[in-house]
Amino acid sequence: MVFSSGGLRQQLTWYGRDGRALGPLGPPRQHYSFRISPDGSQVAITRVQQEANVWLIDADGSVPVRLTSSLANDVNGIWSDDGQELFFSSQRSGSSYELYRIRAFDGEEPELVFPNSGIVLDVVERERAIVRCCSNLRIYHLDGAWKPRLVADNTSVSQWISLVSPNGKWIAYRARESGRDEVYVTSFPERGRQWAVSTGGGLRPRWTADGNELFYIGTDGFLYTVPVDTGVTFSSGEPVALFDLDGAVSYDVAPDRRILVNVPLPEPPELNVVMDWTTALPR
Q: Are 13 and 269 within 8 A, CB to CB?
A: no
DSSP string across 177-213: TTSS-EEEEEESSS---EEE--SS-EEEEEE-TTSSE
Distance (Å, whole) CA 102 – CA 108: 7
Q: Are 122 and 86 in contact (CB under 8 A)?
A: no
The band of 277, judged by pLDDT with boundaries at 50, 70 and 90, is very low
Q: What are phi and psi of 200, to 5 degrees?
A: -125, 30
Q: What is the Cα–Cα distance from 181 to 62, expressed in whole angstroms?
A: 37
Residue 179: its pLDDT value, please?
Answer: 79
Ranking 185-199, 207-221, 264-278 by mean pLDDT, the lowest is: 264-278
- Residue 187 in this model has a pLDDT that exceeds 50: yes
Least confident of 5-14, 22-31, 240-249: 5-14
For residue 238, the domain's CATH number is 2.120.10.30
Q: For residues 241 and 201, is the Cβ–Cβ distance under 8 A?
A: no
**3-state SS class at 277:** helix
Whole domain around residue 118: which residue ranges? 2-280
Question: What confidence category does residue 15 fall into, taking pLDDT thresholds of 50, 70 and 90?
Answer: very high
Please state, rounded to an integer, the average pLDDT across all residues of the chain. Answer: 84
Dump pLDDT digits (tens) for 30-59.
888 899 999 999 999 998 877 899 999 999
Count how many domains the chain has: 1
State the pTM of this model.
0.85
- The pLDDT of residue 87 is 93
Question: How many angstroms from the chain centroid is the CA of residue 276?
Answer: 47
Q: Are 107 and 116 in contact (CB under 8 A)?
A: no
CB 130 within 8 A of CB 118: no
Is residue 131 scored above 60 in pLDDT? Answer: yes
